Chains A and B, each alone.
Chain A
Amino acid sequence: MEHIFIQTLVLTAELAVCTTCIAIGIGLPLAYWLTYSKFKLKPLFEALISMPMVLPPSVLGYYMLVAYSPNHWFGGWLFNEFGIRLAFSFEGILIASVLFSLPFMVQPLQNGLRSLPDSIREASYTLGKSKTTTFFRVLLPNIKPSIITAVALTFAHTIGEFGVVLMVGGNLPGQTRVASIAIYDEVQALNFDTANQYAIILFMLSLILLTTIYSVNKKHDTWKII
């Protein structure tokens, strides 16, 4: 009992940490591109990235499950070439939760970049600095509150994720059984005490993360919640 409880919490933390790390790796260049590109179809990409915020998690979960299936070309290709099966695996829920958390990463970063005056970027260019140097030395250090917000929000959102993980991962202890699913499972099994323990931990963690976000942004006033 105690072992499973710890295992579930560790798995939840692993999923949240990995999701956040991958999401920031993808989110930073994506936010940069969305902020500064003049590409005509940009609104379409912005909409696609933001879709998880309005879609029921089951819709994305359903499509991912279909794509992961060995009968689908993508799932079939992964299985035949690499012997990987994503459905009902940790990697499977990781990819799903990266996609699902991406808007929570990209939007604060994009808001942060937009709030910087163009002249800062242009000044760096006229001082001979490349776009990459400008990005890492001038832009990023000046949107720190947005980065903290994006990381905390993505982390909190991943921990709070339920629908997609259930659809794609199911409820395999040690593999895909994260805390939010465990709560549901324990309630179904009438183990209210265990459910309560999970619930309190998630509640406290989310409260701490969101309090961090609001206190960081109170000082800087650069970010509005989506």
Chain B
Amino acid sequence: MRAWARDRIGWDDLVHIAAKKRVPVHRYTLFYYLGGMALFLFLVQVATGILLLLYYRPSSSEAFESVQYVMADVPFGWLIRSIHSWGANLFVGVVIAHLISVLFLKAYRAPREMTWVTGAVLLFLALGFGFSGYLLPWNTLAFFATKVGTDVPAQIPVIGHLLSRILRGGSDVSGATLSRFYGIHVAILPAITTLILGAHLLLVQRHGMSIPRSVEGKSRRSISFVPEFLMRDMVGWLAAVGLLAALAAFFPWELGVKADPFASAPAGIRPEWYFLWMFQGLKYLPSKIAGIPGEMLGVFFFGALAAAVVAVPWLDRRGKQGVAVAAVLILIAAAVLTVLALLPVPTSARP
């Protein structure tokens, strides 16, 4: 068997490469697991997503009913769907944690700048998955959250409205938006992600694991990637699966009420937690700052932030903690905004 594989796909070479790969052991090694966890959760999403594809119908007259069908009638449909919904949140959370750990450990230093850049793009792709997927159950919450969310790009001058139109498949959120988001969620984003993720993983392979400066030069214990690191990885993965299963069993993801485009927005609509800081931040901006619409400035700020995230390797100064300090401040601000967004709003103070 091995001979057959060796002759055709170079099995032995692959095994050789894998066996050689080692992972340094130091006090920050724990953070090395986050990347693999993000990858694992992504694969869980792909698997559950493909299973959901077998029953989901992407039309405004059938989407909600098909999800209801999966939850109520399909054997273990509740499990697959709840894992997919909970998993999405866990996945984004882990991706953010992975970014934060790489940032503070400065693993983006040369020669790993492109690894960072592809990673930043993967973060944006993950957020794109989350945003496009959120609409697919076609319930009231999703419908209005998408309405609000697709209003944001409209703020960009000149091309804003066109961009919003392209996203929505029309001037308003409708069945056309659903079709579009479906295509984005199951085809466009997966295709792009495959390429970028492939590049990201290849680069990680190429450069090996980055060692933080503070432990550089000290005794270099290391463990083999296969099987030692992988086994530890697997402990984490199994724990993650257990967590998702428990969440699915105790807190099945809710169906909500089918979206009615003609009804007025219910109170308290908001996007998923990872967008809440933007949502809340935009609320606090005054309507005009020096003659420029506040929301437009907000959108510019987000754009600048995204660019800054991508450019981190070049913004960092050797030995200085500028990037780390800025990151801490931004994270605290985002956390505060998120908490504020989650607080129940007294009726009189509603903006």
| A and B interact | no
Q: Which residues of A are interface residues toward B (Cβ below 8 A)?
A: none
Q: Which residues of B are interface residues toward A (Cβ below 8 A)?
A: none
